[in-house]
């Protein structure tokens, strides 16, 4: 009997879509206004989903207080009010598309969550654009 618990969080960040091995012209041709060298930004909304058995002792799949804390220390403290390209190590050489940000978030959380639990993340870049990744 497996069930999924979900926790919502958010962070505000600047970014640009950009490959440092391409010229600004090529970045502009491929990424359009998202490659603006002066950056733009988003209110990212994040849903972290953890799937597993209900612990009969507590009635929890995972203590939400623990999950909330983990999202804060692993993701919000590193990403919130930051420039993703300039200030987040993982994006020094990786283009911070919503897809790549999701994979980075998933990897950071995966290492901290019990291996008996499945993990997936959904990241809203805007209310109209969002991505989901479950490590498959």
- Residue 73 interacts with its own copies (CB under 8 A): yes or no: no
C-alpha separations of 24 from 27, 37, 113 in Å: 5, 8, 39
98 binds its own copies (CB under 8 A): yes
Instruction: Decide: is 133 part of the binding site for its own copies (CB under 8 A).
Output: yes
- Answer for which of 70, 75, 78, 95 binds its own copies (CB under 8 A) is 95
Q: Does 10 bind its own copies (CB under 8 A)?
A: yes
Our answer to whether residue 42 is catalytic in this structure is: no
Known catalytic membership, residue 40: no
The DSSP letter of residue 121 is E
- With 0-12 / 13-18 / 19 or more C-beta atoms within 10 angstroms meaning exposed / middle / buried, residue 136 is exposed
Of 74, 90, 99, 118, the one binding its own copies (CB under 8 A) is 99
List, in sequence order, every residue forming a beta bridge with 128; answer none if it has no partner: none
Clarify whether 81 is annotated catalytic.
Answer: yes
Contacts 24+ apart (CB under 8 A), 128-132: 129/98, 130/45, 130/98, 131/98, 131/99, 131/102, 132/102
Q: So which residues are the catalytic ones?
A: 34, 81, 125
Which positions touch its own copies (CB under 8 A)?
Answer: 1-10, 12-15, 17, 30-34, 36, 38-43, 54, 58-61, 64-65, 80-83, 86-87, 94-100, 102-103, 126-133, 135-136
């Amino acid at each position: 009997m497996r069930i999924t618990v979900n926790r919502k969080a958010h962070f505000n960040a600047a970014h640009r879509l950009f490959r440092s091995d391409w010229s600004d012209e090529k970045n502009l041709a491929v990424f359009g206004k998202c490659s603006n060298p002066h950056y733009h930004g988003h209110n990212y909304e994040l849903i972290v989903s953890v799937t597993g058995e209900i612990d009969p002792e507590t009635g929890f799949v995972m203590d939400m207080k623990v999950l909330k804390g983990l999202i804060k220390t692993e993701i919000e403290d590193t990403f919130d009010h930051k420039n993703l390209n300039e200030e987040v190590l993982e994006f020094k050489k990786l283009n911070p598309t919503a897809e790549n940000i999701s994979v980075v978030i998933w990897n950071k959380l995966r290492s901290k969550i019990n291996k008996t639990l499945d993990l997936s993340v959904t990241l809203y870049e805007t209310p109209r654009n969002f991505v989901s990744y479950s490590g498959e």
